[in-house]
Homo-oligomer: A and B are copies of this chain.
Amino acid sequence: MIKWKQRNHPIRLERRFEFESYEATRDFLESLGALSESKKIFPDISFGSTYVNITLRPESEEQDAQMTDVEFKFASEIDEILD
């Protein structure tokens, strides 16, 4: 969990992953897509040939929504893709 940064305005969790090759990047994105579909959680993702940035926001879209265990657990599950 320590590798994710929590930011505010708006509240969010962010992590950047770097890869050796485009192939490794795509493999990760594919696993991430499958995880998103199974959990029905769809983070914002930016990527180029050798990096992926993931931004997780609170599920609730209310203005004062806080991060919950749902997002922290999903962040851990993303980390586990690379274990």
Closest B residue to A34 by beta carbon equals B26
Which of B26, B42, B46, B49 makes the CB contact (< 8 A) with A49?
Answer: B42
Contacts of A45 in B (CB 8 A): 46-48
Is A44 engaged at the interface, CB distance under 8 Å to the other chain? yes
Complex Cα spacing A48 to B45, Å: 6
Q: How far is the CB of A42 from chain B (nearest CB, A)?
A: 4
Complex Cα spacing A8 to B69, Å: 41
With A22-B36, A26-B33, A45-B46 given, name 10 new contacts (CB 8 A).
Answer: A22-B37, A22-B42, A26-B37, A29-B29, A43-B48, A44-B47, A44-B48, A45-B47, A46-B46, A46-B47
